[in-house]
Structure formats: structure tokens, C-alpha cells
Structure 1
Amino acid sequence: MPKLSLLDAHHPRAGFKEEFADLLLDPVVRLDAIATLCETYLQDVDRQALFARTGLAGYTTAGGLANLPEDVNDDVGTDDPARATGPAPRRDTSRSVIVRDAALARKVKALEGDRCQVCDTTLRHLNRPYSQAAHIRGLGSPHHGPDELPNLLCLCANCHVLFDGLEIYVDPDGLVRGTRDGRAPHPLRRAPAHPIDEAHLAYHRNLCHINDHKPAAG
């Protein structure tokens, strides 16, 4: 590594050449580049902490920035134990949200019979079957996945949280595995008429891989 004094003396230019910058506009290429950097140079680094420090927090969840945990995504709150009891305080916000195709969500649920493709559970809510349409590659930044049927799974609320939180993934053989535990792998259930794009599953696996690494203690 060059010394800082040498860099200060010569003022080297930083950044990517135009053709490389254009390549990195593709979310799939960008994730591959991040994964390569992590595996080559960042073996002993807490990657989730690094992503948070460098503006890449969206890569710690399959859902992207919009689906970060509440304690990470919410920058306003109070820990004051003396706060008055009663209704929780409110604040006005203005934000841009992604408009999802509700018909696609209904279709994947119908194809899978409202049964979770991971755990085979059928939930009920208000005396009706309840399931969630989960995007394999998230729609929001930085993943920018497509809102289409091959990018959707039908999951229960619990498995949806685990999938977006990168705790479970689907391996190349179609088996659901855990990233951090020793759960027994089992096949992802698929309805014959439900197409699933393997490229989206591979993108999700890549996210899991760069996040499941923990640096050695000490």
C-alpha cells in the first residue's frame, strides 16, 4: 500500500473508467463485483458493519433499503423511560413507494394454493387463507428486481422474513437451506404452472453468501 504522503504529493485520480462504470450500473454485475471484493480482500472484515458504513446497507437484506429492520431503518425515536403513557407519538412523512402489480401477487398465491413453498404451512387470517407474495430479487434499491411471476414466491409471513433477512436460500438443486444453522435441507415446493427464474435465485444466494461470513474472533 502506498503511503498517504505519496498520494498527497502526486494527487492520483480515482474512480472507474467509463466502460467499467457502465458495467456496474447493472445490479447483477455490481453484486458480483462486491462479492469478488469481499472474497479477495475482506475475509477478516465484518461485512454487514462495512456495508452500513459505506452506504451499502441495502445489501444486508434481499428486500433492499426499504425493508431494513425497524431499528436500522428508523432514524427517529426515543429511549426516554419517562415518556408519557398513552398513544404512541406520530410524525408526518413524505416518501416514494414502489407500485407492485397486485394481480401478479394474487396469481402466485392462487398457483400455490396459499401454501408456503418453504414450510408448506397454510395460514388463516380473518377466516380466510393468508400468504404473502415474496420477491426473490427485491424490487427496491440496490437490487432493482423485476415485478414478474418468475421473480415471486408464495411464502408464509415467517418464511418471508427469513428469506428477506438472508437466513434461508434455495440452492442450485432446488433445496431450501439455512445460512447460519444446521437445518436439514428440503425441496422448495413448486406448482407445475409457476415458473421461477433460476437467475433470481442465484442472485439471492450471492447475497446470502456475502453476508453469512463472520470474521475470526480476536
Structure 2
Amino acid sequence: MPNARTFAELEPEAGFTAETADLLRNPVTRLDAIATLCETYLENIDRQALFARTGLSGYATAGSLLSLTEDEGADGATDEYGRAIGPAPRRDATRSVIVRNEALARRAKELEGNRCQICGTTLRYLNRPYSEAAHIRGLGSPHHGPDELQNLLCLCPNCHVLFDGLEIYVDSDGLVRGTRGGRVPRPIRRDPRHPMDEAHIAYHRTLCTLKAGEPAPS
């Protein structure tokens, strides 16, 4: 085995070449590389746990879903029966958020009539139509998707969570499928006035392959 003196004499270099590093700075190329490595070498392992250990936890979701942990927050005081005493505790927090173009979000909802493009549900809240504008390719790191109409879907809250959580995806034929199967495919609704960029849909579909290849939760 080489020792420290050998390394000092030979001065080996490690890491990516400059050309490779430049390629991997592109979010789409980087995701393709991660997916290829997972499919080739990391079958049937907990990929999300691996991502968390290697600084790639952003690939666990497609958008802004928070990490679901059970130990966050402070426990409030309870009586001998486990009932809360007084109001829920509070804590101060500071965070940085991405500024979205709300006019674009409203436009996507208007074009689809506030009807979910996946399940067709139309909701009302406070006597007004309610829907959510979901980015196909997330705006934040590591996805760095654009805030544009072609990157938006009009979804109900349930489908928004499933889509951002990589539980459903749109295949190359425009059918919505379950990432792990077990879901009857159905076409995604598309208003002719509401364009969707196939490159963004393909990016989301690649993200879902990361979840599809890991073992199902017990």
C-alpha cells in the first residue's frame, strides 16, 4: 500500500476533469449522471439516505416539499393525561425564499379553469375556486428550473404533493403513472393555450426513476 511519502513524491491528482466539472454544473446533465450511476451501481439501496449523506438531499423531491421529520419543533407542556396546557409553543425563524411570479401562477390556473390537470378535481375554498400552481422542474437547488408558464401545472393539493414527492410522473405519451406502479394511467389534461415544455416533464420523469429504483418502504 502506498504511504504518505509516496503520495508526496508523486503528487497525484483526483476529482473530475475541468471539462467534466463544467458539464456537471448543468442541472439536467448532473441529474442524468446521478440517475445513470444509480441505475448501474446502486440498485435496491436506500438512495434517499445515501443522498442525504452525500449532500444530494435535494433530489428527494421535485419541488419545495419540506423534509418530513418527526422530531422537529418543540414539545409543549402537557398535563397528566397528555393533553396540551396552554397555546402551542412558538419559535423565531429566518429563511430565504424564492420570489415566484404570481401573475404566471394565476395565468396557469385561469387557463385550466382551476381544475386539476391530473385528477380533474375542482375545489372551492372560502366560496372561491382553489387550485395550486406546481412547478414541473423545481425552482430551487439542485433543480434550478425557470419560473415560466411552460414549467407550471395547475393541480389540486393532493396531486401537488404526489407530484412534488415523486410518487407520480407524466410519461412520454402524456399519461400520468405511479412511480412504483399500481396506478391506472390517465392522460394529463392540456389546454391548447397552456404550453408545457417536454424537457421539464422529462427532467421530472428522470427524478422519479431515482425513487422507482430504491426498495419500497416496509
Question: TM-score w.r.t. structure 2 length?
Answer: 0.88
Unaligned runs of 5+ in 1: none
Deviation track 1:78-132 (CA, whole Å, cap 9, x = no partner) reads: 4987796222222212221100000000000000000000000000000000000
2 CA distance for matches of 1:128 and 1:187? 27
Q: Which residue of 1 aligns with 2:62?
A: 62
For 2:118 and 2:36, the matched residues in 1 are separated by 29
Question: In structure 2, the residue corresponding to 1:67 is in which secondary structure?
Answer: coil
1:41 aligns to 2:21 (yes or no): no
Residue aligned with 2:33, SS: helix
Between the aligned residues of both structures, percent identity stands at 69
Which residue is equivalent to 2:97? 97
Q: Name the amino acid aligned to 2:112.
A: E
- Whichever residue aligns with residue 69 of structure 1, its letter is S
- Residue 43 of structure 2 aligns with an amino acid whose one-letter code is Q
Amino acid aligned to 1:213: G
Aligned length: 210
Name the SS for the 2:184 alignment partner: coil
Q: Distance in 2 between matches of 1:7 and 1:141?
A: 39
Task: Please give the alpha-carbon distance, in whole angstroms, between the structure 1 residues aligned to 2:181 and 2:32.
Answer: 25
**Partners of 2:164 and 2:97 in 1: CA distance:** 18
The alignment partner of 1:115 has SS state of coil
Bigger Cα displacement from structure 2, 120-129 vs 48-57: 48-57
Aligned 8 A contact 1:115 1:156 in 2: yes
Task: Note the alpha carbon deviations across 1:132-161, whole angstroms, 9 max, x for none.
Answer: 000000001110000000000000000000
Q: Is the 8 A contact 1:117 1:154 kept in 2?
A: yes
How does 1:11-26 map onto structure 2 within 5 Å?
11=7, 12-26=12-26
1:216 to 1:100, Cα distance in 2 relative to 1, 3 A: closer
Task: Describe how 1:202-213 pairs up with structure 2 within 5 A.
Answer: 202-213=202-213
User: Tell me, what secondary structure is at the counterpart of 2:193?
Assistant: coil
Which amino acid in the other structure matches residue 66 of structure 2?
A: L
Could you tell me the TM-score, scaled by structure 1's length?
0.88
What code does the residue aligned with 1:168 have? I
Any unmatched runs of 5+ in structure 2? Answer: none
Q: Is the 8 A contact 2:76 2:85 kept in 1?
A: no
Aligned partner of residue 177 in structure 2, secondary structure = strand
Query: Which letter maps to 1:26?
Result: N
Asked if the contact 1:132–1:156 (Cα under 8 Å) also holds between the matched residues in 2, the reply is: yes
Q: In structure 2, how many angstroms separate the alpha carbons of the residues matched to 1:86 and 1:114?
A: 39
Does the aligned pair in 1 maintain the 2:179–2:208 contact within 8 Å?
yes
In the alignment, which residue of structure 2 is the partner of 1:115?
Answer: 115
**Partners of 2:76 and 2:88 within 8 A in 1:** no
Separation (CA, whole Å) in 1 of partners of 2:169 and 2:3: 43
Q: Residues 58 and 68 of structure 1 are in contact (CA less than 8 Å); yes or no, is this contact kept in structure 2?
A: no
1:178 aligns with 2:190: no
